[in-house]
Structures are given as C-alpha cells and as structure tokens.
Amino acid sequence: MVLLRLNSLALSRSRFALSPLAETLASMILLGKTCVDPWLTPWHERHHAAFDRTLDADPFARGLVRLLSSTKWLPTYVVVPPTGGMRTALAGELAQVAAFTDEDVRAELGASLEHSWQEHDMSWLSGGDWAPRTARLLDSVWREHVAPDWPRRRALLERDVTYRAGLLAAYGWPRALHRMNRRSAWVGTDAIRFTNRSGPDRVVGDEGMLFVPVSMSSGSWLCEGPTGRYALVYPARGSAVDAEHPRPPHALGRLLGAGRAAILCELERPATTSELAAQLAQSLGTVGGHLAVLREAGLIAGTRVGKRVVYRRTELGDRLADG
C-alpha cells in the first residue's frame, strides 16, 4: 500500500488544479488502444484514423504510445505536476517535459517497460532528444484531438472541482476525496492511500497536494515533481466529449418551458450559473433568470462556496425531474 503523507501545513495548502497536459496524455493513451467506453466511442472513431496516420509517420511516436497504453507505470517526464493552478497553460507543462535528459527518459521508459503487460521491441528508442520529441507529439495531439473540445472539457472539469470544493467546505478532505478513484481514500489523520500495490510512502512537501481531474480516463496516476510536489490525477465525473445534455421529458418541457426543464435535468450534478451556461450554450442572463424561477418554485437551492453559488436540485426537484 502506498501512502501520501501530509503534515498540517501541506494539508492546509492542498488544492485543485487543471492540467491540459494530463488531459492530452489521457486522450493520447485512449487513442492508442481499442476504445471500450461506449460514451467515448464517437470521439474515438472520429479521431483514431488521423492519429494512426501520425504514428505511421513516426516510429518513435508509435513505440512510445504503444508503451504508455500498456503499462502501469507512466514515466515521470510525461506526468509533471501542473504549476498554474486552475489556469495552468500547456506551453509551460510541455517546457517541463522537454527539459528532461535522454538519460532520464531512458530510465523512466525502462521502468514503464518493467510494468507493461505486453512485449515491446524498443528499437524505436533511437536518435536521442526523446523528451523534446515527446513534447512535440503531445503538442500535436493537443492541437488536433483535444483543443477543439477543450471549452466543453474545461467546463466539465471545473464543474467537478466545484462539486468537490463544496464537499471540502462542508465536510473536509475525507469526503472530498470519496470515490475520487477506485483505490484512493483518507487514512488516519495525515495520509492518503494512493494504491493497494506495495511501494514506499511519499511525503508531500509544504506546498501541499494537487488534485487534478481529467475527462478522458477511467484510471488515475500520480505526478511527482521536485521538493515533494505531488499531484493526483483522477477521472472527473462524467465525460465532456460527445456527451448529450439530459433531454427533459416532453411533459416536463411543456410544464416548465424547455430552458428551465433543461436546467433542472442538468442539475442532476450541482453546478454554478457560469457552468450551466457553458454546458447548455446559453447566456448568463438567460440561465440566471431560469434559476431564479426554479429556486422560487422550490425545485432547486443554492449554496455559497467561496465566491461562487453552487445550485442543486431539492428533493421536490429530483422527484419532478425523475418523473
């Protein structure tokens, strides 16, 4: 069992962050293997052929993606902790990836090979400059396969953070981490269980732990940086790609109006006004007006979390939305 140990200062400074690099890596791994998630199949089918052509043109890219898609050990140089909080930019993350030496990359890929469930011919690892070449591959995947969906993905990721931040404010970190992934859990008063597999415990530095949601993965991984910087990447609730908005029953739309019915169905998961506007492609003013009516009718309630108000359905709203 691997534990992440935090002192009181590290615990107080732990926070959520976004990582375009983690989202890109998760997407690249998904494109590198057969898609088994029905809700992601349309996206996978739309992008897989172009991605495959990219790999055909570059043996290094083909070999790297095949290894990353079949190992329990993601190399440290592609899983760097984000440094910009909720505003982390991909360019800064790729600069960190490109800065690793060939010696570092070879050692990390060797560890990935040891933890792979497939056989690999490593002849593709030739020519040097492997970290910059990896950064260029990730940048290509971002531009071609992630960036077009990024606004929708980002809205879902921010929504997950809002949900967990609400749990954190009301109940503390143990509740906020609940069901973050299949194995993580709070242990005692100062540790997070990352995995059941054997391994040394990690000591989180005074800067605290980062929690980073991604929309294109059902798994999680640990990012490790210098001086005890760690980030836990975990699957966000739901999928941002090709996910259809909940369709209100026809009778509900006739009763409330199509806009208010859509919002009530969307609030199956709590959200802010701006998150609802992004998800439903409506203006803030329109969404705000609908929320006021739904709140007055007792179908939703709002809770202030920091500077934001998070809306959720009441019991009456649940009953009405569920028919």
1-40 per-position pLDDT tens digit: 788 888 889 888 999 999 999 999 999 999 998 877 767 7
pLDDT tens digits for range 249-302 = 677 878 888 888 888 888 877 788 888 887 777 888 999 999 999 999 999 998
Tally of CA atoms within 13 A in the half-sphere of 224 that contains its CB:
13
8-state DSSP, 225: -
pLDDT tens digits for range 209-240 = 999 999 887 678 999 988 778 999 998 876 55
Nearest to 4 by CA among 190, 239, 130: 190
CA–CA dist 282, 21 (Å, integer) = 29
Mode of pairing for the β-strands spanning 230-235 and 300-305: unpaired
pLDDT at 245: 47
pLDDT at 242: 42
Asked if 224 and 232 touch (Cβ cutoff 8 Å), the reply is: no
Q: For the chain, state the CA radius of gyration.
A: 21
Nearest to 165 by CA among 272, 254, 34: 272
pLDDT at 259: 87
List the structure tokens of 16.
């959520």
Long-range contacts, 313-319 (Cβ 8 Å, 24+): 313/264, 313/267, 313/268, 317/264, 317/267
CA–CA dist 49, 64 (Å, integer) = 18
Mean pLDDT of 242-254: 61
Q: Which helix (H) or strand (E) covers residue 93, if one does?
A: helix 90-98
Mean pLDDT of 68-96: 95
Buried/exposed 35-57: b ≥16 CB within 10 Å, e otherwise: eeeeebeebbeebbeebeebbee
Nearest to 239 by CA among 143, 153, 151: 153
CA–CA dist 108, 74 (Å, integer) = 8
pLDDT tens digits for range 132-182 = 999 999 999 999 999 998 988 898 898 888 888 877 877 788 878 876 776
Q: Which helix (H) or strand (E) covers residue 308, if one does?
A: strand 308-313
pLDDT at 244: 44
Domain 250-321 bears CATH identifier 3.40.190.10: no
Boundaries of every domain in the chain = 2-235, 250-321
